[in-house]
Amino acid sequence: MKKTSIWLIVATLFCGLFTLTSCDEQLDNPTGDSDNIQDREEILSHIKSDAKVLAGNMNPEMLNLTNEIYSQLMTLMAKDRNYMRNMKQILAMMAANNALTKIMPVTKGSELAKMGYLMYIPVDIQTFGVQVVFDENGNSQLFPCEGMEFIFPATVKGLSTTLYKVAFKAGSKWKESVAPAQLKNLKGVACVYRVPETITITLSGLFENKVLTLSNTTFDIGETQVSGRASTSLKGTSYGLPDVESTLDFKFNTAQEGKVQMDCSYVNNGLQIMTLGAMLTLPETGNLIERLSTNDFNGSRIDFDMQILNDLKFYGSIRDVAQFSEAFMKMTQNKDISSTDFSSQVDKLNQYSEIYATCENVTSSLYLQVMAKWVDNKNQIMPGIWSYEDLKLIPFDTYVEQPEMDNINKAIEVVIPPMGSNTLLGVQVFSRIMQMLPLNSAEWKI
Q: Is 359 helix (H, G, I), strand (E, B) or coil?
A: coil
- Give domain status of residue 304, yes or no: yes
Provide the number of structural domains found in the chain: 2
- Give domain status of residue 1, yes or no: yes
- Helix 37-57 / helix 402-415 crossing angle, nearest 10 deg: 60
Cα angle 59-61-64, degrees, rounded to a multiple of 5 = 125
Quote the pLDDT of residue 42.
93
Q: Is 403 helix (H, G, I), strand (E, B) or coil?
A: helix
Same domain, 70 and 209: yes
Same domain, 138 and 163: yes
- Give domain status of residue 360, yes or no: yes
Quote the pLDDT of residue 224.
74
Same domain, 191 and 330: no
Quote the pLDDT of residue 308.
92
- Give domain status of residue 278, yes or no: no
Mean pLDDT, consecutive 10-residue stretches, the chain (446 aa), reads: 30 28 37 64 92 83 79 82 68 62 84 86 71 88 82 88 89 75 66 80 90 89 81 87 87 78 88 90 65 65 91 91 82 76 89 90 88 77 82 85 83 60 53 52 36
pTM over 0.85: no
- Give domain status of residue 409, yes or no: yes
Same domain, 79 and 132: yes
Same domain, 411 and 424: no
- Give domain status of residue 262, yes or no: no
Cβ 368 vs Cβ 20: under 8 Å: yes
The Cα–Cα gap between 70 and 58 comes to 21
Specify the amino acid at residue 167.
A
Which ranges of 274-338 does DSSP label H, i.e. alpha helix?
288-294, 321-333
Q: Domain limits at 159?
A: 60-217+420-446
DSSP 10: S
Quote the pLDDT of residue 205.
94
Q: Is 444 helix (H, G, I), strand (E, B) or coil?
A: coil
- Give domain status of residue 230, yes or no: no
Same domain, 49 and 159: no
